[in-house]
């Protein structure tokens, strides 16, 4: 999917008001978009209104671009339209200027595999464009002179166009979401507990998903989710998961569906988060949320990420949240304990695992089992009709059956999720009705 080589060679640029600019994240993002990072230019100074990094630095930037043969400059800062224009003028012809948000959109666009993800990317792009089109329209209106061609009119129509596209996409997304909700309900009724993975990008969610689902046949998983990649490949790149991937896992005889969601990213603008919000639906509707963090990161960074995740989840989530400290293979026990203590207010009683090596993943399974809603016990007496056996086998499929006695009637005792018990009662009721 990604080309490498000179066509995808980038120079990264970053300005900070004070201190030393750190380009680690923007480099990772650039690589995630398939660019080879060939150079960097950084600047510490107050923002220059005309060129953002100052005239001298723009010259350095242009030189670096020529020297490295880059075709793209990736700015970690957000550039205004005027700054973009001025910097662009100094760069060799054909060199593209991309800011952080455009870059993230580019990555999302490349990874969007499902219709829903594609629509979300489209929506995010339109939301990015809308304020720019509005600004252009108002500038054009201001500059309009009598006798001139109505430039303002053109931009106003673009603005209207964007707005109508946004509302069309929203409608379609809403329909998709209704279908998904219906599917979740069906899964719940058929005895699955729903567990969702949440957390920042690169925390190890996809790896953990594979680890939790490893005992279950992949074919089964493919059937469960025909629209998604059942192998859930995880590469050392950001955002391997765009949209959701669901796989089946077994926790102590309970059937669990584990869903991986798009990772959080720091400093995302509101409009972007908004566009991907519905990706979190599976988190909000889950029976249990596993909030995954990378324990090898500095404590303060983990803390900030936990706060953001909790704030976002708190909007609608009602399920219990278990924090998973992942990547314990990278740190020693003493450090894990120190971080556990430091984070105890935000993450009480976390589970520490290594998704990569599988170390202590069984502890996590036990914990998941313990946190899931209790099963209800039920005893049903079914009249003997033509359909009785199909009801018995449905209960077998969806519950843990303790005993079945066949006589004139069938007496079945089982344990199951409340929703399954309810469905069983309804089915038993139908049999009774049919038998009289
Ligand atoms: N050392 C170590 N690396 C891990 C562990 N778990 C995951 N990783 C690595 O961390 C990187 C990111 O893992 P993913 O599973 O793709 O992370 P993710 O949270 O799904 O990321 P997004 O899809 O971007 O949201 C990969 O290189 C994994 O191999 C772990 O327990 N230990």
Q: What is the pLDDT of residues 85-127, one digit of tens each?
A: 889 889 999 999 988 888 888 887 877 777 887 888 888 888 8
Task: Please choose from 110, 197, 234 the residue to mutate so as to test ligand 1's pocket, defined by most ligand atoms within 8 A of CB.
Answer: 234
pLDDT at 146: 47
Q: Say how many Å lie between the CA of residue 432 and the centre of ligand 1.
A: 53
Are residues 260 and 280 in contact, defined by beta-carbon separation less than 8 angstroms? no
CA atoms of 315 and 141, how far apart (whole Å): 40
The mean per-residue pLDDT over the stretch 31-41 comes to 92
Q: What percent of the chain has pLDDT over 70?
A: 79
Q: Say how many Å lie between the CA of residue 51 and the centre of ligand 1.
A: 38
The mean per-residue pLDDT over the stretch 292-305 comes to 93
Are residues 262 and 171 in contact, defined by beta-carbon separation less than 8 angstroms? no
CA atoms of 360 and 328, how far apart (whole Å): 9
349 is known to lie in a ligand binding site: no
Q: Say how many Å lie between the CA of residue 312 and the centre of ligand 1.
A: 22
* Ligand 1 atom with minimal separation from the 292 CA: 19
Q: Say how many Å lie between the CA of residue 262 and the centre of ligand 1.
A: 13
Which protein residue's CA is at the shortest distance from atom 32 of ligand 1? 327
Are residues 415 and 400 in contact, defined by beta-carbon separation less than 8 angstroms? yes
Which protein residue's CA is at the shortest distance from atom 6 of ligand 1? 204
Beta strands in 54-171 (DSSP E): 72-75, 96-99
pLDDT at 2: 43
Instruction: Provide the token pair at 257.
Output: 């569906």
328 is known to lie in a ligand binding site: yes
CA atoms of 185 and 420, how far apart (whole Å): 11
pLDDT bin (cut points 50, 70, 90) of residue 263 is low
Over 50: is that where the pLDDT of 230 sits?
Answer: no
pLDDT at 384: 87
Higher pLDDT, 315 or 218: 315
Task: Look at residues 289, 309, 312, 297 and name the one whose alpha carbon lies nearest to residue 342.
Answer: 297
pLDDT bin (cut points 50, 70, 90) of residue 1 is very low
| Lowest mean per-residue pLDDT among 13-27, 165-179, 198-212, 224-238 | 224-238
Average pLDDT value for the chain: 81
* Ligand 1 atom with minimal separation from the 236 CA: 27
CA atoms of 53 and 130, how far apart (whole Å): 26
Which protein residues are within 6 Å of ligand 1, measured from CB?
Answer: 201-207, 234, 236, 238-241, 263, 326-327, 329-330, 354-356
Are residues 289 and 319 in contact, defined by beta-carbon separation less than 8 angstroms? yes
Instruction: Provide the token pair at 288.
Output: 């249990």
Calculate the dihedral angle through the C-alpha atoms of 292, 348, 269, 285, rounding to the nearest 10 degrees: 70
Residue with tokens 């009724």: 189
Q: What are phi and psi of 382, to 5 degrees?
A: -110, 130
Say if residue 405 is exposed, middle or buried (CB neighbours under 10 Å; 0-12, 13-18, 19+).
exposed
Higher pLDDT, 398 or 38: 38
For 13, residues 6+ apart whose C-beta sits below 8 A from its C-beta are: 40, 41, 42, 43, 53, 61, 73, 74, 75, 76, 77
Say what the ipTM of the complex is: 0.97
Q: Say how many Å lie between the CA of residue 206 and the centre of ligand 1.
A: 7
Over 80: is that where the pLDDT of 360 sits?
Answer: yes
Instruction: Provide the token pair at 295.
Output: 């324990």
| Lowest mean per-residue pLDDT among 167-176, 246-255, 427-436 | 246-255
| Lowest mean per-residue pLDDT among 72-76, 247-251, 395-399, 420-424 | 247-251
Q: What are phi and psi of 65, to 5 degrees?
A: -60, -45
Over 90: is that where the pLDDT of 412 sits?
Answer: yes
Q: How many CA atoms lie within 13 A of 323 on its CB side?
A: 22
Q: Say how many Å lie between the CA of residue 330 and the centre of ligand 1.
A: 12
Higher pLDDT, 384 or 238: 384
pLDDT at 229: 38
296 is known to lie in a ligand binding site: no
Task: Look at residues 173, 76, 94 and name the one whose alpha carbon lies nearest to residue 126.
Answer: 173
pLDDT bin (cut points 50, 70, 90) of residue 242 is low
Q: Say how many Å lie between the CA of residue 353 and the centre of ligand 1.
A: 12
Over 60: is that where the pLDDT of 3 sits?
Answer: no
Task: Please choose from 108, 202, 246, 276 the residue to mutate so as to test ligand 1's pocket, defined by most ligand atoms within 8 A of CB.
Answer: 202
pLDDT at 217: 41
326 is known to lie in a ligand binding site: yes
Q: What percent of the chain has pLDDT over 90?
A: 36
pLDDT bin (cut points 50, 70, 90) of residue 363 is very high
**Helix/strand/coil for 12:** strand
pLDDT bin (cut points 50, 70, 90) of residue 179 is confident
Instruction: Provide the token pair at 330.
Output: 């990278």
Task: Please choose from 242, 243, 355, 359 the residue to mutate so as to test ligand 1's pocket, defined by most ligand atoms within 8 A of CB.
Answer: 355
Q: Say how many Å lie between the CA of residue 348 and the centre of ligand 1.
A: 23
200 is known to lie in a ligand binding site: yes
Which protein residue's CA is at the shortest distance from atom 8 of ligand 1? 204
pLDDT at 130: 81
Q: How many residues can be counted in the chain?
A: 436
């Amino acid at each position: 999917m990604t080309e490498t080589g000179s066509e995808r060679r980038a120079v990264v640029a970053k300005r900070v008001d004070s201190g030393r600019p750190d380009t680690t994240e923007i480099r990772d993002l650039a690589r995630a978009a398939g660019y080879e990072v060939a150079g960097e230019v950084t600047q510490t100074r107050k923002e220059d209104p005309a060129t953002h990094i100052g005239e001298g630095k723009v010259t350095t930037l242009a030189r670096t671009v020529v020297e490295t043969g880059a075709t793209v400059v990736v700015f970690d800062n957000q550039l205004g339209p005027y700054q973009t224009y001025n910097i662009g003028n100094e760069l060799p012809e054909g060199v593209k200027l991309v800011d952080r948000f455009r870059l993230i959109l580019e990555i999302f666009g490349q990874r969007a595999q499902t219709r829903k993800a594609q629509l979300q990317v489209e929506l995010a792009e339109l939301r990015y464009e809308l304020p720019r089109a509005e600004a252009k329209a108002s500038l054009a209106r201001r500059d309009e002179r009598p006798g001139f061609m109505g430039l303002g009119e053109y931009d106003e129509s673009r603005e209207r166009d964007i707005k109508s596209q946004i509302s069309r996409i929203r409608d379609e997304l809403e329909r998709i979401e209704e279908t998904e909700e219906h599917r979740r309900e069906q899964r719940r009724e058929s005895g699955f507990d729903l567990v969702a993975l949440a957390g920042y990008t690169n925390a190890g969610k996809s790896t953990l998903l594979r680890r939790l689902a490893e005992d279950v046949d992949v074919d089964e998983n493919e059937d469960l989710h025909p629209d998604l990649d059942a192998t859930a490949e995880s590469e050392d790149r950001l955002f391997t998961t765009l949209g959701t991937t669901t796989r089946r896992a077994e926790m102590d005889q309970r059937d669990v569906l584990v869903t991986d969601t798009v990772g959080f990213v720091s400093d995302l603008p509101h409009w972007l988060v908004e566009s991907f919000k519905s990706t979190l639906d599976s988190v909000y509707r889950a029976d249990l949320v596993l909030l995954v963090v990378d324990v090898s990161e500095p404590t303060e960074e983990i803390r900030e990420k936990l706060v953001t995740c909790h704030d976002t989840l708190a909007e609608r989530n009602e399920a219990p949240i278990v924090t998973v400290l992942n990547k314990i293979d990278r740190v020693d026990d003493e450090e894990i304990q120190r971080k556990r203590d430091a984070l105890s207010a935000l993450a009480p009683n976390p589970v520490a695992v290594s998704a990569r090596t599988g170390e202590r993943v069984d502890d996590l399974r036990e914990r998941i089992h313990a946190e899931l809603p209790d099963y209800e016990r039920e005893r049903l007496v079914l009249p003997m009709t033509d359909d009785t056996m199909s009801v018995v086998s449905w209960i077998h499929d969806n519950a843990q059956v303790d005993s079945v006695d066949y006589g004139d009637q069938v007496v079945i005792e089982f344990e199951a999720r409340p929703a399954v018990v309810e469905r069983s009662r309804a089915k038993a009721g139908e049999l009774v009705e049919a038998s009289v």
